[in-house]
């Protein structure tokens, strides 16, 4: 399983970005969390197969929310991400 941490910047708060990210993750079978950060960005911890993770990352870059817009994404592989059984929206 691939474990990826992302920080997404742009118009990503107040546009349904976290909930659309959850819907996308559920559709692809990705587990993890998504949360708003104080600086206006969104952080995502995700766990899934290589194929599904590649799809997830691309769809996040394209913004899962029609009203959102991603201008920058920091993507890091992180083997220390906790194994989750679902995908949750936090905060």
Q: Please report, for the chain, the start and end positions of each structural domain, with discontinuous segments joined by +.
A: 2-90
Residue 34 pLDDT grade (very low, low, confident, very high; cuts 50, 70, 90) = very high
Residue 9 pLDDT grade (very low, low, confident, very high; cuts 50, 70, 90) = very high
pLDDT at position 35 over 90:
yes
Are 68 and 36 in contact by the 8 Å Cβ rule? The answer is no
What pLDDT digit, counting tens, does each position of 37-78 carry? 999 999 999 999 999 999 999 999 999 999 999 999 999 999
The pLDDT of residue 22 is 98
The pLDDT mean for the chain works out to 97
Query: Helix, strand or coil for residue 10?
Result: strand
Alpha-carbon distance of 77 to 81, in angstroms, equals: 9
List of residues 6+ apart from 51 with CB closer than 8 A: none
Active-site residue set:
18, 36
List of residues 6+ apart from 20 with CB closer than 8 A: 64, 65, 68
Record the pTM.
0.95
> Tell me: domain 2-90, CATH 3.30.70.100, correct?
yes
């Amino acid at each position: 399983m691939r474990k990826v941490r992302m920080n997404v910047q742009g118009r990503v708060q107040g546009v349904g970005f976290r909930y659309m990210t959850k819907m996308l993750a559920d559709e692809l079978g990705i587990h993890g969390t998504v949360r708003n950060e104080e600086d206006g960005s969104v952080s995502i911890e995700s766990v899934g197969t290589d194929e599904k993770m590649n799809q997830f990352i691309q769809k996040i870059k394209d913004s899962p929310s029609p009203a959102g817009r991603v201008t920058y994404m920091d993507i890091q592989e992180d083997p220390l991400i906790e194994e989750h059984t679902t995908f949750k929206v936090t905060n």
